[in-house]
A and B are shown apart, each in its own frame.
Chain A
Amino acid sequence: MFRLDAISLTHANGHSALREVTLATGQGEQLAIIGPSGAGKTTLLRLLGASLRPSSGNLTLLDTLPWALAAGDLRQLRSRIGVAHQTPPLPARQRVITAVLAGRLGVWPWWKALASLVYPLDIAGAGKSLAALDLAERLFDRCDRLSGGQLQRVGVARLLYQKPQLMLADEPVSSLDPTLALQTLQVLSAAAKARNATLVVSLHAVDLALACFPRIVGVRDGRIAFDRPATEVDETLLRDLYAAEGRQLPIQDHPLPIAEDASDAMPTPVARRNHCA
């Protein structure tokens, strides 16, 4: 599905965000990216979304080289990649239905896009995506009437509605309470599985990542610190990853059944049941 080969990225201000990153996934695979703030998680996702161009290395997305494509082809490629943002970039005065329908703008012909501004053309479709996230009743509300957590779920609903082959989500549940966070990740995971799409999610909460994703990629200082199945991620590995953030691991206090034998040193994280299965 995608392949990063010795990718480095240096921002215009000289800050080196990613160094020699190599990572690949197959079709339908699901993985979580974890790591401390500023490690390069967002940059990595933006690379995968073809919104940032790597400074060096080879990048293949959906079996094509995005930065070798002509403008029209790049646009088409991008319409097959969907992103849910941590702070969904939705105009305040836009209605939820329009914000969700905007997910298909890459596929719709221009006349359909304009007509849908006059009267929403796929109310049922947008409603279905929102219903999956428990937001069906906010369909015709304006975005500025929603809370931050609801907006995040609207962003996820747009991603679901877009039906891309590569689904990317940058901390999509950071403003949700633990129950909703888990539910939302489950919905994302199930949607990806149903269409055999690849899903990459960056998460701040380690426990959620371990609970919902079979494969975990740890990122630190712009490098891949580890990349292994969730079952092989242990406490030492995590403590190394978050060494700079103090003693506590960033976890979401969610109502997963805590493993009976979890020691007192670390309250939850390595509860490793696959709740997203």
Chain B
Amino acid sequence: MNPALTAPLLHDPAARGRAAWVLASVVLLWPLLVIGEFRPWALLEARNLNVMGHFLAGFLPPQGSPDFLRELAQATLQTLAIATAGIALAFLIAVPLALLATQSLSVSRLGPGPGQQRARWLRRAVRGLMMILRGIPELVWALVFVRVFGLGPTAGVLALGLTYGGMLAKVYAEILESGDQRPVRTLLEAGSGRLAALCYGLLPGSAQDLASYTVYRWECAVRASVVMGFVGAGGLGQLMDQSMKMLNGGEAASILITFLLLVLLADALSSWLRRLLANTGTGNSAAGVSALALTLVGALGLAVLLSFHLLEIQLGDLLSWDAAQQIGDFFAGFFPPDLSPAWLHKVAQGALETIAISALGTLLAAVGGLLLALPASGRYGRVAAGTTRFVLNALRSVPELVWAALMALAAGLGPFAGVLALAVHTCGVLGRLFAESLQNASATPRNALIESGAPPLAAFCYGTLPEVLPQLVAYTLYRWEMNIRMAAILGFVGAGGLGQLLYVELSLFHYAQASTLIAAMLLLSIAVDSASAKLRSLMNQ
């Protein structure tokens, strides 16, 4: 109690840092707004209002004629089949890659033995291949394959197979390396082969995780194959694309409803399967593999066969010498990429536009998500919570690309449509996550403030926000990372960025320019990956 000892600080020592942050955000935000062509008033322009009004007016009643419903059912089945066949292909690609990339299965590391250098380079090459496969979005693959194999599901299946193959391989390798490494090491040291060591040393501990992740990826594949049709790769998306081009609101409404049902169904099926998987293996039967697992594997095999049959994909034709030559010729056209300064400049602009779209979209989504999370977390009663939760679910069930197509109608072609599309979809995702954070936050600080007469807004800002804010920021950054990738392909439906350039160049058969664009997308994806990894390790310190 001797105030003379320490002179009282009469200014906030953190103020300068905060001011710098605010200044930096404003300086950064301004060009983003310009590049992203942020023009909310475009939504209110008479022409756009007219188009959108007519389109939306057509939503009621949804198209329900038997002919259309038959078409719809067929497209739905095709979508499911694309997803299933795509995952099967991805699995075939992923397993050898994962086995090659998994360090703990390396024999040459023991000792170290002979061939260690070679093995290390091989692993590096495999990891690079995995990165390229998953770094190029499936929609880009689809767009490219449509040029080779023509319109239809074949392109969709191949695209899913490649991108998801890369993703599965990466995660498989991670799962295999995260478990207990001693059993497999012991086996390898005892001279067993790599496959045997995998089956006896690694799979027992990780089979459940591997299966569960594969099922989750199937669920994602259903969502992805829904939009695949927008570039002509079959399924519901193709139907939706046609309806929207004809501004047929009734059909679009029916298809949207089917979208939602399909996504919900896939969600439910996948979580049911994963629960089932989590509960297997507790039995004490003599057989190494339970009857349930056998049934599941059988059903899975049947589903894959049916999918390929339904899609009428002749794998033999794809693997024939003619096809290989055709594909080879086609891809040769992509090399060398166009690296002229003028084109690089344009690509850089496209990349900047992509980043601006993703940043603005995510920022808007974070604001909207927080506003919707307040009622969704149940602080304004159960009715409000139920309603907002439904709205949030609806927002995030419609894929970004479909939103982008809708927003291109509402706000005109260009990056702003992409901003809106990302904002709306991400708002649904973040709103739900934010609401969960708010619900999990301790209520006492806020209640104590309410009990000393603070108004609800102030009590929220002083009592709840400080606790949840870091989590909200982490969620937002994570979604931004995903949205950068998404913004690169939204342009396929005219929403600006790299995607729009790519779509145009491919339509004009400018393959050299297209390959520069694809390389730019890949670089962007890799940069985002490593930046977020860095950021995460910084935040964890």
Query: Which residues of chain A have a CB within 8 Å of any CB of chain B?
Result: 49-51, 75-83, 85, 89-95, 97-98, 102-103, 105-108, 110, 113-114, 117-120, 123-124, 127, 131-132, 134, 136-137, 139-140, 162, 164, 183
Point out which of A105, A120, A140 has the most chain B C-beta atoms below 10 A from its C-beta: A105
A102 touching B462, Cβ below 8 Å: yes
Residue of B nearest to A143 (CB): B466
Residues of B contacting A90 in the complex (Cβ-Cβ under 8 angstroms): 445
Which of the segments B3-11, B197-205, B276-284, B374-382 contacts the partner chain?
A: B3-11
A150–B264 Cα distance when bound, in Å, is 51
Residues of B contacting A108 in the complex (Cβ-Cβ under 8 angstroms): 458
A124–B452 Cα distance when bound, in Å, is 22
A145–B365 Cα distance when bound, in Å, is 33
10 cross-chain pairs, A with B, having the tightest CB-CB distances, nearest first = A106-B453, A79-B453, A105-B454, A78-B453, A91-B466, A113-B458, A89-B444, A89-B448, A94-B466, A51-B451
A98–B465 Cα distance when bound, in Å, is 12
Residues of A contacting B445 in the complex (Cβ-Cβ under 8 angstroms): 89-91
In the assembled complex, how far is the CB of residue A184 from the closest CB belonging to chain B, in whole angstroms? 11
A92–B469 Cα distance when bound, in Å, is 12
A34–B51 Cα distance when bound, in Å, is 74
A131–B457 Cα distance when bound, in Å, is 29
Residue of A nearest to B9 (CB): A139
Point out which of B457, B466, B467 has the most chain A C-beta atoms below 10 A from its C-beta: B466
B461 in contact (CB, < 8 A)? yes
B12 touching A102, Cβ below 8 Å: no
B12 touching A123, Cβ below 8 Å: yes
Residues of A contacting B457 in the complex (Cβ-Cβ under 8 angstroms): 110, 113-114
B455 touching A110, Cβ below 8 Å: yes
Residues of B contacting A92 in the complex (Cβ-Cβ under 8 angstroms): 466-467
The residues in B between 413 and 462 inclusive whose CB is less than 8 angstroms from any CB of A are: 442, 444-445, 447-455, 457-459, 461-462
Question: What 12 new A-B contacts, CB under 8 Å, besides A91-B464, A92-B466, A113-B462?
Answer: A50-B451, A75-B455, A78-B453, A83-B451, A85-B448, A93-B467, A93-B469, A98-B462, A120-B12, A123-B12, A134-B1, A140-B12
B453 touching A77, Cβ below 8 Å: yes
Partner of B454, one of A80, A95, A98, A102: A102
B458 touching A75, Cβ below 8 Å: no
B287 in contact (CB, < 8 A)? no
A131 touching B452, Cβ below 8 Å: no
The residues in B between 12 and 42 inclusive whose CB is less than 8 angstroms from any CB of A are: 12-15, 18
Residue of B nearest to A162 (CB): B452
Residues of A contacting B497 in the complex (Cβ-Cβ under 8 angstroms): none
B229 in contact (CB, < 8 A)? no
A91–B442 Cα distance when bound, in Å, is 9
In the assembled complex, how far is the CB of residue B419 from the closest CB belonging to chain A, in whole angstroms? 27
A10–B15 Cα distance when bound, in Å, is 49
In the assembled complex, how far is the CB of residue A162 from the closest CB belonging to chain B, in whole angstroms? 6
Point out which of B442, B448, B459 has the most chain A C-beta atoms below 10 A from its C-beta: B448
A93–B444 Cα distance when bound, in Å, is 15
Residue of B nearest to A123 (CB): B10
Residues of B contacting A113 in the complex (Cβ-Cβ under 8 angstroms): 454-455, 457-458, 461-462
In the assembled complex, how far is the CB of residue B472 from the closest CB belonging to chain A, in whole angstroms? 12
A108–B449 Cα distance when bound, in Å, is 13
Residues of B contacting A95 in the complex (Cβ-Cβ under 8 angstroms): 14
A103–B449 Cα distance when bound, in Å, is 8
A75–B8 Cα distance when bound, in Å, is 33
Asked if A127 meets B455 with Cβ closer than 8 Å, knowing A136-B3, A183-B1, the reply is no
A90–B464 Cα distance when bound, in Å, is 10
Residue of B nearest to A80 (CB): B453
A108–B452 Cα distance when bound, in Å, is 12
Residues of A contacting B463 in the complex (Cβ-Cβ under 8 angstroms): 89, 91, 102
Residues of A contacting B452 in the complex (Cβ-Cβ under 8 angstroms): 49, 78-79, 81-83, 103, 105-106, 162, 164
5 CB contacts below 8 A, A to B, read: A49-B452, A76-B453, A78-B451, A94-B462, A97-B12
B8 touching A127, Cβ below 8 Å: yes
Residue of A nearest to B2 (CB): A134
The residues in B between 147 and 165 inclusive whose CB is less than 8 angstroms from any CB of A are: none
A81–B6 Cα distance when bound, in Å, is 32
B467 touching A91, Cβ below 8 Å: yes
Residues of A contacting B1 in the complex (Cβ-Cβ under 8 angstroms): 131-132, 134, 183
A124 touching B455, Cβ below 8 Å: no
A136–B5 Cα distance when bound, in Å, is 10
A106–B455 Cα distance when bound, in Å, is 6
B288 in contact (CB, < 8 A)? no
A51–B445 Cα distance when bound, in Å, is 14
A81–B450 Cα distance when bound, in Å, is 11
B470 in contact (CB, < 8 A)? yes
In the assembled complex, how far is the CB of residue A48 from the closest CB belonging to chain B, in whole angstroms? 11
A53–B15 Cα distance when bound, in Å, is 42
Residue of B nearest to A92 (CB): B467
A79–B450 Cα distance when bound, in Å, is 9
A105 touching B459, Cβ below 8 Å: yes
In the assembled complex, how far is the CB of residue A110 from the closest CB belonging to chain B, in whole angstroms? 6
In the assembled complex, how far is the CB of residue B541 from the closest CB belonging to chain A, in whole angstroms? 16
In the assembled complex, how far is the CB of residue B453 from the closest CB belonging to chain A, in whole angstroms? 3
Asked if A123 meets B466 with Cβ closer than 8 Å, knowing A105-B459, A113-B458, the reply is no
Residues of A contacting B18 in the complex (Cβ-Cβ under 8 angstroms): 118-119
Residue of B nearest to A114 (CB): B461
A78–B454 Cα distance when bound, in Å, is 8
A73–B442 Cα distance when bound, in Å, is 27
In the assembled complex, how far is the CB of residue B448 from the closest CB belonging to chain A, in whole angstroms? 4
Residues of A contacting B469 in the complex (Cβ-Cβ under 8 angstroms): 93
Residues of B contacting A85 in the complex (Cβ-Cβ under 8 angstroms): 448
A82–B467 Cα distance when bound, in Å, is 23
A105 touching B458, Cβ below 8 Å: yes
A127–B459 Cα distance when bound, in Å, is 22
Residue of B nearest to A133 (CB): B1
Residues of B contacting A50 in the complex (Cβ-Cβ under 8 angstroms): 451
Partner of B10, one of A78, A81, A124: A124
B8 touching A124, Cβ below 8 Å: yes
A123 touching B458, Cβ below 8 Å: no
A106 touching B454, Cβ below 8 Å: yes
Residues of A contacting B3 in the complex (Cβ-Cβ under 8 angstroms): 131, 136
A90–B447 Cα distance when bound, in Å, is 11
The residues in B between 343 and 387 inclusive whose CB is less than 8 angstroms from any CB of A are: none
Residues of B contacting A110 in the complex (Cβ-Cβ under 8 angstroms): 455, 457-458
In the assembled complex, how far is the CB of residue A84 from the closest CB belonging to chain B, in whole angstroms? 10
In the assembled complex, how far is the CB of residue B23 from the closest CB belonging to chain A, in whole angstroms? 13
Partner of A105, one of B11, B444, B447, B453: B453
A82–B453 Cα distance when bound, in Å, is 9
Residues of B contacting A98 in the complex (Cβ-Cβ under 8 angstroms): 462, 466
A50–B389 Cα distance when bound, in Å, is 33
In the assembled complex, how far is the CB of residue B370 from the closest CB belonging to chain A, in whole angstroms? 14
